[in-house]
Amino acid sequence: MEMWFSDIHTDGVKLSIRIEEQLFSSQSQVQRIDVLESRDFGKILVVDGDLMLTERDEFIYHEMITHVPMAVHPDVKEVLVMGGGDGGVVRELIKYDTIEQIDVVEPDPLLVEVCRKYIPEIANSLTDSRVNIYHEDGLRFIRSKGDAYDLIIIDSPNPFGAGEGLFTKEFYGNCYNALHEDGIMINQNESPFYTEEAFQCQRMHKRILETFPICRVYQAHIPSYPSGHWLFGFASKKYHPLNDLDKVGWKLRGIHTRYYEPRLHAGVFALPVYVEALLRDVENIE
């Protein structure tokens, strides 16, 4: 018997992965959650039919969204993770013993439960004593926060659907307000390749530019995501992503990674010409 899961990338493109077994499927208050087992990508977390992460390549995404700001900001103590109920970002964060508090805002309790059960290697990080999980709407949570965090990581999958509110100007504005005066905000910035996503890339970049004085975009290669070419946004009140990179300091921490590396750090901010042009398009409006 053949069973295939298809992640729809555009109306005309999909990525199909052969599935050995469906491990879990349920509809929560917020969304439909599925866990699939595959030979080539390991376990796959699917939310509302969209591929969220695979065991095989999730380290790339989670390392790149976490270690880039951590190697720049000299003294991160309080971190907010928006979304991130799978625990991937937190797994990277708890490698830093200088971090004192990690708040995770994940609206869907079922997602956390399912991840703890089916991908414990990732989600068990959420049991770390520094972690507080809030099952709340992200917008509602952030509204009441001011001057509270050194780092905010927006780990929300999809600018359409339940997480839409985390891709808006009002959200970025409230994040700005929730950060200390030298805070950094990182967001997953979609792929620049397909037309619809490219448009979302631009919109996000524009919204963040309007809010933060320092905004740069960096990239990673994530095989299971649409086009494989993925962008992240680095928005900051004070620190520059390259000028303030502390390569030696980071190395001395002795953190084990499989993708991130300070030498790579400088490179990922060098973007392909067409991506530069895409971003410049909205930068020039200012």
Side chain identity at residue 47, one-letter code: V
Tokens of 280: 């410049």
In Å, what is the CA distance from 179 to each residue of 150, 169, 174, 274? 6, 15, 9, 32
Q: Which is nearer to another protein, 17 or 235 (CB)?
A: 235
Residue 169, interface with another protein (CB under 8 A)? yes
Query: What is the footprint of another protein within residues 74-103 (CB under 8 A)?
Result: none
Q: Are 201 and 192 in contact (CB under 8 A)?
A: yes
Q: Which stretch binds another protein (CB under 8 A): 60-68, 159-167, 191-199, 217-225?
A: 159-167
Side chain identity at residue 214, one-letter code: I
Draw the binding track, 119-138, toward another protein (x: CB under 8 A; -: no contact).
------------------x-
Which member of 162, 208, 220, 279 binds another protein (CB under 8 A)? 162
Tell me, what DSSP letter sits at residue 122? H
Residue 257, interface with another protein (CB under 8 A)? no
Q: Are 196 and 234 in contact (CB under 8 A)?
A: no
Residue 48, interface with another protein (CB under 8 A)? no
Residue 147, interface with another protein (CB under 8 A)? no
Query: What is the footprint of another protein within residues 205-224 (CB under 8 A)?
Result: 210
Which one of the listed residues 86, 103, 150, 155 is annotated catalytic? 155
Query: What is the footprint of another protein within residues 58-77 (CB under 8 A)?
Result: none
Q: Are 41 and 60 in contact (CB under 8 A)?
A: no
Dump strand ranges (E) for 70-139. 78-83, 101-105, 131-134
Residue 284 CB, nearest distance to another protein (Å)? 18
Residue 177, interface with another protein (CB under 8 A)? yes
Dump strand ranges (E) for 88-178. 101-105, 131-134, 149-155
Rg (CA), the chain: 18
Q: Which residue has the tokens 């619809």?
A: 196
Side chain identity at residue 83, one-letter code: G
Q: Are 185 and 175 in contact (CB under 8 A)?
A: yes
Which member of 38, 54, 125, 174 binds another protein (CB under 8 A)? 174
Which member of 173, 182, 196, 242 binds another protein (CB under 8 A)? 173
Residue 168, interface with another protein (CB under 8 A)? yes
Q: Which stretch binds another protein (CB under 8 A): 52-60, 170-178, 239-247, 254-262?
A: 170-178
Distance CA 258, CA 218 (A): 18
155 catalytic per annotation:
yes
- Tell me the catalytic residues: 155
Note the residues at the interface with another protein (CB under 8 A).
Answer: 137, 139-140, 142-143, 162, 164-165, 168-171, 173-174, 177, 210
